[in-house]
Structure 1
Amino acid sequence: MELDDIRQAISSTDQQLLQLLAKRRELALAVADAKLSQNKPIRDQQREQELLVSLITQGKALGIDAQYVTRIYHVIIEDSVLQQQAKVQGQLNGVNGPSVRVAFLGGQGSYSYWATQKYFTRRAERIIELGCDSFNEIVQAVETGHADYALLPIENTSSGSINEVFDLLQHTRLSIVGELTHPIAHCLLGIAGAELSKVRQVCAHPQVIAQCSQYLLGLSNVKIDYCDSSSAAFTKVKALQDPTIIAIGGEEGGQLYGLEVLARDLANQKDNVSRFIVVARKPVVVAKAIPAKTTFIMYTGQQPGALVEALLVLKQHGISMAKLESRPIPGNPWEEMFYVDVFANLADYAMTRALEELNNITKFVKVLGCYPSEDIEPTQVIAG
């Protein structure tokens, strides 16, 4: 076969694969309906493990190695679980519709933009995008009714917690209704003809600068220009048309602005992932078939052992903690408010009892939201 004929055959095969993936997704959504009618949990890891073992065996017979099959189906299974969860939640809370208004940081091409697309394409046919310049503006957009939801980055595996967002949660009336994690791949991006050796200015969001601090230390005589978002950095570099001025952001986002990659993998940690939360004016009810998280804040006071006593309440009720974060209380020097994420549904008896007890032994408890957990751990196949 000629090269063009081979490429045409590959394109035809890819089209067939896409059609089959779309059909599989439709079947996965039908499974969600069946599981609900039988009162079964959305995720069945024993079934997933059996499926993977069978597929690995079939793959070997076709000359496809086990690692290849496993990696592909981890992605497919994760997509199926998240699609099913979104459908169940939409039916339970009546939120899925033809369009949804979402406020997020920056404009097209920012990391928050891509995370918004990732989360809401499972829930609405059309996303009305409201790009904002600050976290406070994002929250206000939902509080005032200009947006239905807001998407906020809350922590990153490299730079840690985003304190400004935690502080906003303390005072807002909004509820956390969802979460997602999104891989972050930082690149240096410049106009055509830019050379790394001639760079004199780097434009990026402060969080991005923090996540790439070690790489940036290796650049000499370079000025750091802090921008409101990655998309704002892209816009500035494109507008200036100066090959010595570059941006840090995602490759896909930079391409929207006609920028080219000068360097990749800039983050301090190899696995650089950001966690985002979704907030809305009204809380949601999480279906029993879906793993849930609950987030609350509490003020224990400064007496010795107060925090330990509060955490023992969670242990006594068999509630696992996902995160504990402390933040200063404005106007109260040296006093801390604690943010707590737990793996529990607010409707569970154990969670209800735990909150009642915490209210009795702490000075203040406020539930920020109960929402579906999107921590989809890959199914492990036991080597045989």
Structure 2
Amino acid sequence: MTFLDPLLELRKNINNIDKKIILLLSKRQLLTKKVVKVKINYKKKIKDKEREKKMLKTLVKIGKKNNLNKNFIIHLFQVIIKESIRVQKYLLDKDYLNKKNISKKISFLGPKGSYSYIASSLFLKKEIKNVEYFPFSSFEKLVLSVEENKSDYCILPIRNTCSGPILQNYKLLLTTNLNVVGEIEIPINHYLLTIKKILIQDIDTVYSHEEVFKQCSTFISQFPEWKIKFTNSTSEAMKIVSTNNNKNCAAIGNKIGAGLYNLYKLKKNLSNKILNTTRFFILSRNNILPINKTNYKTTILFSIDEKNNIINNIISSLKKANFYIKKIKLLNYSSSDIKSIFHMDITNNFSHKKQLAILYKLVKLTRFLKILGSYPYKI
């Protein structure tokens, strides 16, 4: 027997114990995957600080009874907990991206057939297999439905190429705690719709959403004798005309809505611009960041006191930190306490602490700064 023989035997025993530790960690991870499914169903937070404290306290006591160092036990299980959180976040993100047979609820400006409905169905068609649609009569109500856990998502139009930013929805973005988790831009083709074929000159009343009249102002100006009636949505306007016995009233809506409400398409392409599009944000309670490290952007709203030097300093600071500014727009927004608001899109994902720290240095240069969310986008 050589001197090394007992050492080899001891190492062999240690290796066997290490294998058992690996197998136990694997079993623990399987339980973690089951835990995250329960958390998704019951909308529970991933991190539970109180449970972690109690668990570490218990484990330290057990370790002490078995002659193990307190700091070693704490460090070991902090690493295990960190890995458990990483796995749970990955599975949660994967659930968001794949949507395996999980039914999700989305709120939109209704009734069915509105541009918001069309945008939400196009966005979620690829993302989610089972979708329940819930119409609301105002943007405030659909945002509230998600805040109160009645819906998983809501869709907000934020900008149209003809009428510009939709300021009432920017106000909602400033006040809500919801996060932007996606976006979609759709073409807008406004139709003049009636219950049957008539002459345009015979129309006396036109119904539609206020924003639509802005987008079709050039066409509307040709008929100053028309009575303009605002509705909560284009689909509500189409519904009113379809149930109204007055053949001289019309709605401005879309082709899909015309089919749903059995309306005659009297004239199309009413927008001030031929290429008219609207950008929509998808909002959620969860702040879900994309797994992939490409093709994402972050949207930020911020306010400043002076336009020129400060905004140049902000742009310069971001460029020095290797942030690519995709878009920056000044909104014509004003209130008693806010004079100017900028909308800025940056093609960076602020999931990394270093990037987030750089961004928050800009807070000193602004009156306020709010990150709306980081989300995937198409180039």
Task: Give the C-alpha shift of residue 341 in structure 1.
Answer: 1.6
Residues 191 and 237 in structure 1, CA contact (< 8 A), matched pair in contact too: yes
Tell me how far 1:357 sits from its aligned partner. Answer: 2.4
Of 169, 173, 176, which residue of structure 2 is paired with 1:169?
173
Write the distance in 1 (CA, Å) between the matches of 2:314 and 2:139.
30
1:140 maps to 2:144: yes
Name the CA distance, whole Å, in 2 between partners of 1:162 and 1:228.
Answer: 14
In structure 2, how many angstroms separate the alpha carbons of the residues matched to 1:268 and 1:206? 15
Q: What residue ranges of structure 1 are gaps of 5+ in the alignment?
A: 1-87, 377-384
Q: 1:332 aligns with which of 337, 340, 363?
A: 337
Match of 2:126 among 122, 129, 149: 122
Write the letter of the residue equivalent to 1:164: Q
Once the two structures are TM-superposed, the CA of residue 145 in structure 1 deviates from its matched residue by 0.6
1:368 positional shift? 1.1
Instruction: Tell me the equivalent position of 1:91.
Output: 94
Q: Which residue of structure 2 lines up, in the alignment, with residue 254 of structure 1?
A: 258
Instruction: Give the structure 1 partner of residue 135 of structure 2.
Output: 131
Q: Could you tell me which residue of structure 2 aligns to residue 202 of structure 1? A: 206
- Aligned-residue offset at 1:100: 1.1
TM-superposed CA distance for 1:281, in Å, is 0.5
Partner of 1:234: 238
Aligned residues of 1:327 and 1:338 also touching (Cα < 8 A):
no
* TM-score with structure 2 setting the length: 0.71
SS at match of 2:326: strand
2:117 maps to 1:113: yes
- Residue 275 in structure 1 maps to residue 279 in structure 2: yes
Count of aligned positions: 287
User: 1:89, 1:311 → 2: CA distance?
Assistant: 34
1:343 shift after superposition = 1.8
Identity of aligned residues (%): 29
Distance (whole Å) between structure 2 residues aligned to residue 217 and residue 137 of structure 1: 32
* Inter-CA distance 221–286: structure 2 relative to 1 (3 Å threshold): same
Q: 1:99 to 1:92 in 2, by over 3 A?
A: closer
Give SS of 1:194's match. coil
Shift, 1:304, TM fit: 6.6
CA distance in 1, matches of 2:288, 2:230: 36
Distance change in 2, residues 1:323/1:306 (3 Å)? closer
User: What is the match of residue 315 of structure 2?
Assistant: 311
- Is residue 184 of structure 2 the alignment partner of residue 180 of structure 1? yes
- TM-score, length basis structure 1: 0.70
Q: Which amino acid aligns with 1:123?
A: E
Greater relative CO, 1 or 2 (CA 8 Å, sep 6+): 1
Taking the aligned partners of 2:192 and 2:335, their CA distance within structure 1 comes to 38
What is the root-mean-square deviation of aligned Cα atoms in Å? 2.2
Cα 1:190/1:284, change in 2 over 3 Å = same
2:378 is equivalent to residue 371 of structure 1: no
Q: What is the CA–CA distance in structure 2 between the aligned matches of 1:99 and 1:229, rounded to whole Å?
A: 26
Q: Which amino acid is 1:324 matched to?
A: K
